[in-house]
Chain A
Amino acid sequence: MATLSLRTIRKVLGANAILKGIDLDVQSGEFVVLVGPSGCGKSTLLRTIAGLETPDEGSIKLDDRDVTRAEPRERDIAMVFQSYALYPHLTVRDNLAFGLRLRGESEATVKSRVEEVSQMLGLGALLDRLPKDMSGGQRQRVAMGRAIARRPKLFLFDEPLSNLDAALRNQVRVEIKKLHASLGATMIYVTHDQVEAMTLADQLVVLNSGKVEQKGPPLEVYARPASRFVAGFLGSPSMNFTDAVVSDDSTSAVAEGLRAPIDRQRFGAIERGRKVVVGIRPHDVTVRKGESSAHGYRDGATPTEITVAVDVVEAMGFEAYAHGPVGGAPFVARVEGAADALPRRGDRLALSVEPAHVHLFDPETGRSLAGAP
């Protein structure tokens, strides 16, 4: 268990600035997830922490020791690679023991650790196999076991589940969560998958092109995205964004087919007439049944907050996504209901949204207009 702190880490690879001043603090025992789109620099950051890359600028402290220029072997960090990087010529047993032996542990210690890890991960039957004789999931487990066996100060995972199929991914994800709980270790986990990010993280760090967009507990980041990028990145389907203008009384943001209430507590007084981007998650709208057309969705007289002319419906069984334009931008609404009660193409949907679920962003900078909470 250890704490880690990064200060203004910068890294240039070739001609590109990959990391553009990253600050990050990881508390002892915390599970931090670095999330971001492909190519945003997550792996580079992780490799910098491991010591495989040296930052051009900034400092890295591990337990108050400055390790910015230290060799990887001097850091006592373990890393699980996306490709697993198992030693192909060694059996599972020797793969697990590799780091321990390099560190000069006694054979008795090595044996008991390997035993312990193989119990923990259910590798018992595989100990004498070579990597080439195992499935992807088994290899992934061995890669994790190799990291665990060493009992390092800090675990790094670089997209460890991305080579597994969906079912296995869900299963291993839960296991990792359990593992973290039982080991109580400090872990940094890189992924581009928001489900992994949301479910695993104690602290979520959203990266975008070499910079930290936002960090915080995952639900908080989800509920209060600090930027349009974060808002759009987390949640599936993605948040709807519509260009709008603040109404004369500053209580709502208005666009064609949209009148979104503004939470004054969150956003304070916004000058009227200001251009904003309104963000509403598909899950946060409620259908106003009486006012919707067809199949019970009646076209009402009272002004609704959002009106969608449905052109596509994706039925998922227990719910459906209705697509249609709002304020000149595509809009998706989640609709609950039985199959025969779902909206159809050509219907007009009247939707309402709670003020707390309306996010406002600056059209220029993409930052949230919410004041500091």
Chain B
Amino acid sequence: MRALAREALALVCAMILIVCARDAAAQRTVTVWHPYRGAEQQAFDQVLQAFERAHPGVSVTTLAVPFDAYAAKLEAAIPRGNGPDLFVDAHERIPSYLARRIITSADTAIARVGSDLEPIALEAVQSGSERYGVPLALKCLALFVDEELWERAGRPSLDSLESIARARAALPPSAYPLVYYASNAYFHSAIVHALGGQLFDPQRGTYAFDGSPAIESLTFVQRLLADRVIPPEVDGASVTPYFRSGRAMTVISGPWLVGELGGGRRYRVVVLPRVRDGGRVMSPFVTVEVAFLASNARAPELANELAAYLASPAAARVRATVGRQVVATQSVWSEPELANDAVLAAFRRAASRGRVMPTHNNMRLSWEPANQAIRRALRDPRATRVAIDQGRRRYEDASRPLPAKRSPLPLQLALGLIALAIALRSVQRARDPDFRAAVKRSMPAYAYVTHAVVIVALLVVLPLVLGATTSLYAGRDGALEYVGGANYWDIITARGGSLFASGTFYAVLLVTVLWTVANLALHVSIGVVLALVLSRPLLKLRAVYRVLLIIPWAVPSYVTALAWKGIFHRQTGAMNAILSSLGVEPISWFAQFSTAFAANVVTNTWLGFPFMMVVTIGALAAIPKDLYEAAEVDGATPWQQFRHITLPLLRPTLLPAVSMGAVWTFNQFNVIFLVSGGEPDGATEILVTEAYRWAFTRQAQYGYAAAYAVLIFGVLVLGTRLLERLTLGKQGGSK
């Protein structure tokens, strides 16, 4: 006992020491988070080491955070006091970070750097009267030119997209004059800007991909596609292979492409061209990379000093030469080493012609509607106007004013009354001696079930209640306010629009029901047929077939889903390869509802039939053989035996399997999300994936998404009840 006490004392002392030491160290430590990788990370680390050398007694702790989780981590860590003192991120996030109060003014740090920073970058970090964050680098699109193809095409002028397009005739059919991610709004916006339009109006803070510049820009790209100036269906990832394999004379891309190209091809980088001969030049969005000073910092002084240092010429030089960044520090560009770097210089020039990415909150809401409008218009030129209108409607939908804040008082009152009633009732019962005796008697039983109840409450009931509660709140970016049933009202009334317009709850519900029914019909029929075949005693190698057919079930569903997505790829997929070997034109599987839906169903059927098959094999084995013999003697043909013996006797086993399958399919997120991704235009979206979009791609409208989830829950409860009722009714006299 005494030994134990001594050890405990020692432990406590040690802990106190550690805490004190940490506090002491914190005086001289500055913590930095960044999303860099590769050369940029290397350069950044070099700079930080130089800072440490220049400041004896100071140590810099760095953490490279993967890009996708970056903002969420910052938002979680900084308010709790365990975030960084300084972090690097894009300037567009300023409003959102300000709203969450995780950054502070950087005016002092900027003052230390002096007037050496690019004006366009300083403009980007301005919010109100203050500037938030020290600009470090600029990122935007430029034109990469493959020297060899360019020469082969007779050195055409790169002055406009029109002149580039004219190189078509001079290039082999497999090569294209221009390759870029045409269906993406970020890329397309450069063309829109050149034609006098814009994606987003930063002054008014609204969506602006509208009117004649939008139509003109889309018509222009449609022409490029029709004339085979650009290849169809290029996405962000397929640009690099085109360029590396020498099938793209020019490519529109950002500085990241430099790292991906390596030394394989001879190329140069120039500013983006005009769109039309003699017209205005393309103007890309410019993103400024910023060193933010975190609020709640443990070493604010040091962070300030470090931020200024990062923008200093000494640090900028390293970031530019080693990290290949287009640094925002002007003075270093006159140094010979950088002045002669053609690639960096080109990007710098490109940035100077660009326009700063608006920081308005609604900017981020514009991407998805604009992307969908562009995709639809490029797929179907006749629908250009419709696509543009649809884009605007989607934007309005996503940016609609939040429901009015309500007082939670009525709800609290109701809950309070209920709680009171329960409490009164309990007190009443507790007075009853019989009840007390009963409770006492069943005490041992409670001991047995307590842990199960606690676990179920924590894992099932609590999330359900929290989800349901969230659905009574509304807000974007996680800033939630109580609005009562407004989310439900909005969903159920389709926000006043037509009930079955695309994207409404009812339209998506219809697709979901269709999806569920189609899948179950296929799962059950294929599963039962295979089970019947595999249950024939005469079949050889039965066991082998059974194992083979269960494999689709054993593979994780996302792996299968990705594999099938590949199979349905327009250019490289096996499905089109088979079709074309049969002489059928390749199909753009995800370009129309019918084929996209079919691709989803095929994938999910592949995933789903083994379960039904296994269940059926088990149920078949349980049917006594002499029933078939009795039926045979009674005069039943094989089909009648199946119809009157097999089917009715499979039913009790299949019914629970079918209702389970219905729930799984109804909520089959993986397949929809990974195979069609809701394409075309969200038409194949089902309720769960739609809820996901509200929560995670439309500015984190968690309340709205939660209301969706609660409605899904309700639909499922009703649906399974109905299924039960229907099938029990059919079973006649059985109980």
Interface residues of A (CB under 8 A from B): 47, 50-52, 71-73, 77-79, 81, 83, 85-89, 91, 98-99, 102-103, 128, 130, 146, 150
Contact = CB atoms under 8 A, between A and B. Distances in A.
Contact of A81 (B626, B636, B640): B626
B630 A81 contact: yes
A81 B630 CA distance: 8
B632 A88 contact: no
Contacts of B648: 89
A77 B640 contact: no
B591 interface: no
A13 B546 CA distance: 28
A102 B634 CA distance: 8
Given A88-B649, A89-B649, A130-B733, A52 B635 contact: no
B734 A52 contact: no
B634 A99 contact: yes
B551 to A, nearest CB: 34
Contacts of A73: 632-637
B56 interface: no
Interface residues of B, number: 22
Nearest to A71: B632
B624 A85 contact: yes
A270 to B, nearest CB: 50
B645 interface: yes
Q: Is the interface of B mostly helix, strand, loop or mixed?
A: helix
A98 B631 contact: yes
A72 B734 contact: no
A83 B626 contact: yes
A102 B640 contact: yes
B686 to A, nearest CB: 35
Contacts, number: 68
A130 B734 contact: yes
Given A73-B635, A99-B635, A89 B734 contact: yes
Question: A-side binding surface: helix, strand, loop or mixed?
Answer: loop
A52 B629 contact: yes
A351 B411 CA distance: 105
B629 A81 contact: yes
19 contacts: A72-B633, A77-B633, A78-B633, A78-B634, A81-B626, A83-B624, A85-B624, A85-B626, A85-B627, A85-B629, A87-B627, A87-B630, A87-B644, A88-B649, A89-B731, A99-B635, A102-B635, A103-B635, A150-B635
A85 B635 contact: no
A146 B629 contact: no
Contacts of A89: 648-649, 651, 731, 734
A226 to B, nearest CB: 33
Nearest to B652: A89
B645 A72 contact: no
A277 B734 CA distance: 62
A91 B734 CA distance: 9
Given A85-B626, A130-B733, A130-B734, A98 B632 contact: no
A348 B106 CA distance: 129
A52 B733 contact: no
Nearest to B732: A91
B186 to A, nearest CB: 62
A50 B634 contact: no
Contacts of B629: 47, 50, 52, 72, 79, 81, 85
Contacts of A79: 629-630, 633
Contact of A128 (B626, B636, B640, B733): B733
Contacts of B633: 50-52, 72-73, 77-79
Nearest to B634: A99
Contacts of A78: 633-634
Interface of B: 624, 626-627, 629-637, 640, 644-645, 648-649, 651, 731-734
Given A52-B629, A81-B629, A130-B734, A98 B634 contact: yes
Nearest to A150: B634
A98 B644 contact: yes
Nearest to B640: A102
A170 B633 CA distance: 28
Contacts of A71: 632
A98 B643 CA distance: 12
B647 to A, nearest CB: 10
A146 B633 CA distance: 11
Contacts of A91: 732-733
B650 to A, nearest CB: 10
A82 B626 CA distance: 10
B526 to A, nearest CB: 24
B654 to A, nearest CB: 13
A158 to B, nearest CB: 10
Given A73-B635, A85-B624, 17 more contacts: A73-B637, A77-B633, A78-B633, A79-B633, A81-B626, A85-B627, A86-B630, A87-B630, A87-B631, A88-B649, A91-B732, A98-B634, A102-B636, A102-B644, A103-B635, A146-B634, A150-B635
Contacts of A98: 631, 634, 644
B730 to A, nearest CB: 11
Contacts of A81: 626, 629-630
A88 B645 CA distance: 9
Across the A-B interface, give the 4 residue pairs with the lowest CB-CB distance, nearest first.
A99-B634, A85-B630, A73-B635, A85-B626
A78 B630 CA distance: 9
A150 B633 CA distance: 11
B128 to A, nearest CB: 76
A327 B635 CA distance: 58
Question: Which of B632, B634, B649 neighbours the largest number of chain A CB atoms within 10 Å of its CB?
Answer: B634
Contacts of A88: 627, 649
B193 to A, nearest CB: 72
Contacts of B731: 89
Contacts of A47: 629
Nearest to A77: B633
B707 to A, nearest CB: 43
A301 B98 CA distance: 133
A25 B634 CA distance: 24
A117 B627 CA distance: 21
Contacts of B645: 87
A86 B626 CA distance: 9
A102 B644 CA distance: 10
Contacts of A130: 733-734
A75 to B, nearest CB: 8
B727 to A, nearest CB: 13
A89 B647 CA distance: 11
B538 to A, nearest CB: 14
Contacts of B649: 88-89
B434 to A, nearest CB: 38
Contacts of B631: 87, 98
Contact of B632 (A72, A83, A146): A72
B368 to A, nearest CB: 53
A102 B635 CA distance: 6
Contacts of B630: 79, 81, 85-87, 146
